Amino acid sequence: MGPLNGLKVVDLTSMVSGPVAAMMLADQGASVIKVEPLHGEQMRFLGPPVNGLPPSFYSCNRGKESIALDLKSAEGKAVLWQLIEEADVLLQNFRPGAMERMGFGEDAVRARNEGIVYVSISGFGETGPYANQRVYDPVIQALSGATDIQANRITRDPEMFRVIIADKVTSLTAAQAVSSALYHRAQTGEGQHIKLSMLDAMLAFLWPEGMAGLTYAEDEFDPANGSGSMDLIYPTKDGFITAGVISDKEWVGMCKALKREDLMDDERFSTARARGQNAQVRKEITLDEIAKWPSAEILQRLRENDVPSAPLLRRSELLANEQIVAAGSVLRTEHEGFGEVRQARPAAQFTKTPSEISGPAPKLGEQSTTILRRLGYGEEQIKELIDAGVLISS
């Protein structure tokens, strides 16, 4: 019974940016119907499947129902219209103009459901030379400056995040925007159209510190020259850790942990501004000192002196990490056909209306007949749609 209990969402999206946004709404209690083409969306075919579902598809689409429709047919369109007429939210991430060509543009939808929150996710928005170009996450990383932020510190060759960060930042932005639009509707009764581009979402995400040099026009500098404080990865005698300081108190703690109290009053490092101006030499000293210690011992000393620090975990080590275990950050559930399934817990924890993962991701068309029955279709009508190739039911 999450905070969005009773909300009805029609999810026409594919891949990651839209599906993850809809998945988050499902975790928070919304009833989400994933509408797919008869052959299924592309993510169903990416990665080794278990019980017919690849892990990435499962994680992007958990807790949803699936109906598989031929939306080129009049009968398929009629079913979608019934779903839309009952919905609170519609999400789509087709290229600009595609929904209008299908007959489900925002104006047409609003004529039938005035209060709907209509969400359009695109790569670049509706204008500009890239507007109608196909897009995947690496394209947005390239255009947003993400590859410059990730550039190799020595060669300055651009590098990419090794996760689809632009897609998921867009998902988070979309889910938050839906909540804001629903709040507005609760106050005024008005639905609205949310237009969201992946490029805009990524730029907004990266801007605060990643684009600091571009913020003040009269004092512009190359942002690459202002991002030397990150990459705080330090080898130890037996592994790698991270440790970093910002405040004066943390610097004192770092010096004590490393048994380098002589650095506490060094004028190069005695203030936050000085530490920033001398970041490279400070990091080199820190690197040399941390390398003298075993990981467990120096981490213990850093914790005792209240210095932000942690071991660098391999992904295979996450499930056994004491913090992750103690916090219950990874949920383990048993599902028929899948065995034990592990998922990251919904991050936002509500005290009155808790989020939960309501079920596994659906197989293609798994709830097609159930959904049609809820819409008032009889068994003979459903059979006719299946026989005519308009509907798939698994």
Q: What percent of the chain has pLDDT over 90?
A: 93
Does CATH place domain 8-206+345-392 in 3.40.50.360?
A: no
Alpha-carbon gap, residue 265 to 298, rounded angstroms: 22
pLDDT digit string, tens, across residues 153-171: 889 899 999 999 999 999 9
Query: Which run of H or E residues covers position 344?
Result: strand 339-344
Domain ranges of the chain: 8-206+345-392, 240-311
Mean pLDDT of 203-209: 95
Average of per-residue pLDDT across 328-348: 96
User: Are the beta carbons of 91 and 18 closer than 8 angstroms?
Assistant: yes
From residue 262, alpha-carbon distances to 51, 252, 254, 258 in Å are 61, 10, 12, 10
For residue 227, pLDDT beyond 60:
no
Whether the per-residue pLDDT at 352 is higher than 70: the answer is: yes
If one looks up domain 240-311 in CATH, what number appears?
3.30.1540.10
Average pLDDT, the chain: 95
Confidence of residue 224 (pLDDT cuts 50, 70, 90): confident
Instruction: Give the pLDDT band of residue 231 (cuts 50, 70, 90).
Output: low
Tell me the mean pLDDT in the region 236-256: 95
